[in-house]
Structure 1
Amino acid sequence: MRFSGPRLIAISFLLLVSCTNNTNTTFHASHEERKKDAPFSDAVQVGNLFFLAGQVGIDGATRKLVAGGIQAETRQVCDNIVEVLAHHQMTTDNVVKCTVILADIKDFAAFNEVYKEYFPNKPARTTFAASGLAVGAKIEIECIAAR
C-alpha cells in the first residue's frame, strides 16, 4: 500500500504520538546559530528515536541553494543530514527511515545514484514528488534515526 501527502503526514504523526507514551520528548536546539530562532527543531528526540527536520540543498556557508541540479542538491541535502546526525553523535548508519520529496519524479534515478552513497544500509524510504518545495529546491529529505 502506498501513502503520500496527508496520509503520510498522519501516519508520521501517529508514529510520533505512539512513541511519546511514557517517554520523554526533547526538542533540540539547532547546532547552527542562525537557526536558533527558527519555528522548528532540527531534531526532536523521543526516547531513542530522533526525528530530523527536512533538509534542502542549502550550503550552510553561503546560505544559498547549491547549483548543479538534482545530484548536486542531493549531495548537499545528504551532507546537511550528516551534519545534524553528527551533532547528536550519530551517522547515517543510525537512520532507519527517510522521506524523500522530489520536485520532479523524473529526477528519481539521478537522485538515487547519490542517495545510495550516503545510505548503504538501505533504511526504509518513501519517495514522492510535489511541487513548490522551499526556496525552489529540487529535493527535500527528512529522516528518523535510532540511537
Structure 2
Amino acid sequence: MKNFCLITLVLVGIISQSCQERPSEITFHKSHEPSRANVPFSDAVETGDLLFLTGQIGKNHKAGELVSSGIEAETKQVIENIKAVLEHHQLSLDNVVKCTVILKDIEDFSKFNSVYTQYFTKKPARTTYAAAGLAGGASIEIDVIAAK
C-alpha cells in the first residue's frame, strides 16, 4: 500500500507540474513573397521548436507561373520554394524532419525521387501518395515540417 501511495503522489506531482507549464505559443507567418501577400493561409506556422510549412507547388513566384518541362523541373522548383521559406526563417533543408509528397501521377515517382534525393540528403520521414487535381494544375505538391 505504501508503494502505491508513493507512486500515486509522484504521478500526481508530474501531472500537476505538466499542467502548470505554459503551452507553446503559435505564430502564423505571412509569406516573404510579395506575390503571396494575400493568400488565405500562412506560409509557415511556428509552435515550440517546429515550423510547419504550407504545401508548395512548382510555381515560380517571381514569374507567377508553373514551371514547364515535366515532373523533374516541377520537383526542383517545389524544393527551391521550400528552401526559400526555410531560409527566410534561418533554417535549411537539413532541418526538415517530415515531408508529405502528393503526386498527380504515381508513375512519376521514380523521376520525382531522383530529384528529391539530391536535396534531402538527411532522409527525413516521408509520406508519398497520388491524387488528381492538384492546385494550379501542378504535378506535385510537397509540405514539410522542420525542427529548429
Identity score, percent: 58
Structure 1 unaligned blocks of 5 or more: 1-20
CA distances 1:73-122 after superposition (whole Å, capped 9, x unpaired): 00000000000000000000000000000000000000000001110000
Structure 2 unaligned blocks of 5 or more: 1-21
- The Cα of 1:48 is off from its aligned counterpart by 0.8
Corresponding residue number in structure 2 for 1:85: 86
Q: With structure 2 as the length reference, what TM-score do the two structures score?
A: 0.84
Separation of aligned partners in 2, 1:33 and 1:70: 26
Corresponding residue number in structure 1 for 2:122: 121
Which range moved further: 29-38 or 46-55?
A: 29-38
Separation of aligned partners in 2, 1:26 and 1:139: 27
CA distances 1:117-144 after superposition (whole Å, capped 9, x unpaired): 1100000000000000011100000000
Separation of aligned partners in 2, 1:95 and 1:125: 10
Amino acid at match of 2:97: V
Q: With structure 1 as the length reference, what TM-score do the two structures score?
A: 0.85
Write out aligned runs for 1:1-147 (5 A). Answer: 22-147=23-148
Amino acid at match of 1:128: Y
Larger Rg: 2
SS of equivalent to 1:84: helix
Separation of aligned partners in 2, 1:60 and 1:142: 17
Question: Which stretches of structure 1, 4 residues or longer, exceed 6 Å deviation after superposition?
Answer: none
Separation of aligned partners in 1, 2:35 and 2:65: 14
Separation of aligned partners in 1, 2:47 and 2:128: 24
Separation of aligned partners in 2, 1:63 and 1:32: 11
SS of equivalent to 2:55: strand
Separation of aligned partners in 1, 2:23 and 2:52: 17
What value does the CA root-mean-square deviation take over the aligned residues?
0.9
SS of equivalent to 1:96: strand
CA distances 1:18-73 after superposition (whole Å, capped 9, x unpaired): xxx81100001110122222110000001110000000000122111001100000
